[in-house]
Amino acid sequence: MRHRHPRAPGTTLRTLCLLALLAPVAPLVAQTPVRLTGREMVLVRVIDASNNAPVEGAEVWMGSDRASSDSLGRALVGAPRGRGTLVVRRLGYTDQRFSLAAGIPEVEVVLAPQPVRMGMVQASARPLPRSLPLQRFYERMQRGHGSFVTRENIDRRKPRRLADLFHEIPGVRVVPSSRGERLIMDGTTPYMWGSRGARTGDCPVQYYLEGVSWEPDAPGVLGDDVRPNEVEGIEVYRRLSEVPAEYRKAGSECGVVLIWLKERA
């Protein structure tokens, strides 16, 4: 049994539990909540109300769990204990938020398209990026979690080195070391793991280049392999609670920096 979220705002999921869809259920979905690593999970399917097509890249929240829908509009989040609030968002659509009871294995959420309101755009404005990773960069920037450096910031400041872009970001220090310049996030736990499991030194920032884990020279050191004129945008997350779910791993509490390069013509 699948539960389809109504298109009319304000309707609770309890009403939708009365709707039984006769189409066969995909093999991924069980009639009881899916269990992964001992946890019950809910499969969320995100659908475009205008054409019934799956919506990729929708952000799905259930409590502290966060996931992004794949190319088939699917996302897995932890099932609530008792009752929880499910939130689904995607740029260009109306947000959906509703209460979800425990024990429901699958939910279909319908997002209604909503034109994005833009301010006055000058003729010289940059066109929106075509690549999905850069679209998600600008979506995260609109949500306001973390600090962001855009191509416009870089063009205005004209930095000589990549490290120069971090001097004006609140809570971030650029510190010289024998291996090069390191970024240190204020408030992070001051340790890194040694070869024998001992804690020593500062907490190294994790870097990602084009979404892939990147360590230019040494832990926490920001090298000069990437030039500022090659960069489209940078995301800086000082706290673990700000880090997007797909980039959270052991050590993310030390701070995470995502670097995105320009699109090639």
How confident is the model at residue 117, as a pLDDT? 59
How confident is the model at residue 14, as a pLDDT? 37
Residue 3 has pLDDT above 70, yes or no: no
Q: Is the same domain home to 43 and 90?
A: yes
pLDDT-derived band of residue 89, with 50, 70 and 90 as boundaries?
confident
Q: Is 36 within a domain?
A: yes
Number of domains in the chain: 2
The boundaries of the domain holding residue 82 are: 3-111
Q: Is the same domain home to 16 and 45?
A: yes
Could you tell me the pTM of the whole model? Answer: 0.49
Tell me the average pLDDT across 200-216. 80
Domain's final residue, options 81, 111, 141: 111
Q: Compute the mean pLDDT over every residue in the chain, rounded to the nearest whole number.
A: 76
Question: Bridge partners of 175?
Answer: 182
Domain's final residue, options 111, 141, 167: 111
Q: Is the same domain home to 151 and 213?
A: yes
Residue 16 has pLDDT above 60, yes or no: no
pLDDT-derived band of residue 258, with 50, 70 and 90 as boundaries?
very high
Q: Is the same domain home to 255 and 152?
A: yes
Contacts of 177 (CB under 8 A, 6+ apart): 221
How confident is the model at residue 260, as a pLDDT? 92
**Neighbour-count burial for 2-19, b at 16+ CB within 10 Å, e otherwise:** bbbbbeeeeeebeebeee
Q: Is 118 within a domain?
A: no
How confident is the model at residue 52, as a pLDDT? 93
Q: Is the same domain home to 183 and 217?
A: yes
Tell me the average pLDDT across 155-163. 89
How confident is the model at residue 21, as a pLDDT? 32
Q: Is 125 within a domain?
A: no
Domain of 18, CATH number, reads 2.60.40.10
Q: Is the same domain home to 164 and 214?
A: yes
Domain of 234, CATH number, reads 2.170.130.10
pLDDT-derived band of residue 15, with 50, 70 and 90 as boundaries?
very low
Q: Is 126 within a domain?
A: no
Q: Is the same domain home to 178 and 245?
A: yes
Q: Is the same domain home to 105 and 147?
A: no
Residue 72 has pLDDT above 90, yes or no: yes
pLDDT-derived band of residue 78, with 50, 70 and 90 as boundaries?
confident
How confident is the model at residue 112, as a pLDDT? 92
Q: Is the same domain home to 34 and 87?
A: yes
Q: Is the same domain home to 103 and 22?
A: yes
Q: What does the pLDDT look like over 166-202, one tens digit per residue?
A: 988 888 888 888 878 888 888 665 554 444 444 445 6
How confident is the model at residue 29, as a pLDDT? 36
Q: Is the same domain home to 69 and 159?
A: no
Question: Bridge partners of 176?
Answer: 181
pLDDT-derived band of residue 19, with 50, 70 and 90 as boundaries?
very low
Quick one: CA torsion of 11, 16, 22, 25, rounded to 10 degrees?
A: 100
Q: Is the same domain home to 208 and 98?
A: no
User: Which of 216 and 265 is assigned the larger pLDDT?
Assistant: 216
Q: Is 49 within a domain?
A: yes
Tell me the average pLDDT across 211-218. 80
Q: Where are the beta strands (DSSP E) in 64-178?
A: 65-68, 74-78, 83-89, 96-101, 106-111, 147-150, 172-177
Q: Which amino acid is at 95?
A: D
pLDDT-derived band of residue 26, with 50, 70 and 90 as boundaries?
very low
